[in-house]
Amino acid sequence: QVQLVESGGGLVQPGGSLRLSCAASGSIFSIYAMAWYRQAPGKEREMVAVITSGGSTNYADSVLGRFTISRDNAKNTVYLQMNSLKPEDTAVYYCNAGRVVAGTSSDYWGQGTQVTVSS
């Protein structure tokens, strides 16, 4: 019932910046939180940043101070501003939405966008 489309990934040198976007559509009115996850080759998928419907944010320690999650409610879009990128940030980044209807929780995922940090 919720569709998520990520964009903004690409190749960047260490120390560079990228801004990822996640556009949501469908039954989005009951989404309580949006998040960015990432998965590097051979590693588990990990949470990068979360933003709630009330605007509270949370970050993984590895990106704290470098990444910023934000939202534009008018555009139904969540962003991830990534600064001071490191090779360790190389991964496929996925947008996630949590939705609760009548006490039942549902997770929705985008297709992912590749971020490569390399010189």
pLDDT digits over 62-116, tens only?
A: 999 999 999 998 888 999 999 999 999 999 999 999 988 888 888 999 999 999 9
Q: What is the DSSP string of 32-95?
A: EEEEEEEE-TTS--EEEEEEETT--EEE-TTTTTTEEEEEEGGGTEEEEEE-S--GGG-EEEEE
> What residue type is assigned to position 78 of the chain?
V
Q: How many CB atoms lie within 10 A of CB 34?
A: 26
Q: What is the pLDDT of residues 10-62, one digit of tens each?
A: 999 999 999 999 999 998 878 889 999 999 999 999 999 999 988 999 999 99
Tokens of 113: 């966008």
